[in-house]
Amino acid sequence: MKITILLISTTLMACMQDSKKYTVPSLEIKRYAGVWYEIARFPHRFERDLQKVTATYTLKEDGCIKVTNRGQNAKGKWKEVNGKAFVPDTLQPGKLKVQFFWPFRAPYWVHRIDSDYRYALVGGPGNDYLWVLCREKTMPAGVYDEYLKTAKELGYDIALLEKVQQ
């Protein structure tokens, strides 16, 4: 009985957490492709101490997207990792999956993108990952503030964001 209550409670908490999260209703992958600069991110081990970080998305003939994340560490050495992304459900184009190491796949949710595909807010169903992306190395302060506002509305702790030097 205790296990059942625990499972129901955990499920309800997960649903409540996800209820705030939304993704863009449409996403044109061809327009999303290209180079994005990380303006800010939540800290995590796989990007620790990296600056000048970019994410490059390249469309492949099979419909998948080649993902190349690249950044420079404190010693000036460039680190790069390649993976792939795809849209598992065409009815929810803003909810992608990304895979850098088989068989592990992670959610990559585009929460917000401007109509010109210059700025993006990316996270997932939980609160562990968040990125503010831009096509240029800098983002106008007003735009950045608007994207932070969206992140906060989605339930992210924006105090955790760290700016990325470009």
This prediction has a pTM of 0.86
Tell me the C-alpha to C-alpha distance, in Å, between residue 33 and each of 46, 104, 119, 136: 22, 22, 13, 14
Residue 147: inside a domain, yes or no?
yes
Domain count, the chain: 1
Lowest mean pLDDT among 8-17, 59-68, 96-105, 152-161: 8-17
Mean pLDDT (whole number) for 43-57: 94
Residue 141 counted as domain residue: yes
Say how far apart CA 23 and CA 19 lie, in whole Å: 11
Is residue 13 a part of any domain in this protein? Answer: no
Q: Is residue 3 part of a domain?
A: no
Could you list the beta-strand ranges (E) of the chain.
34-41, 51-59, 65-72, 78-86, 95-101, 104-113, 119-123, 131-134, 162-163
Question: Residue 108 is part of which domain span?
Answer: 24-163
pLDDT of residue 2: 37
CATH number at residue 51: 2.40.128.20
Query: What is the pLDDT, as a whole number, of residue 64?
Result: 92
Residue 6 included in any domain: no
pLDDT of residue 10: 37
Task: Give the model's pLDDT for residue 88.
Answer: 94
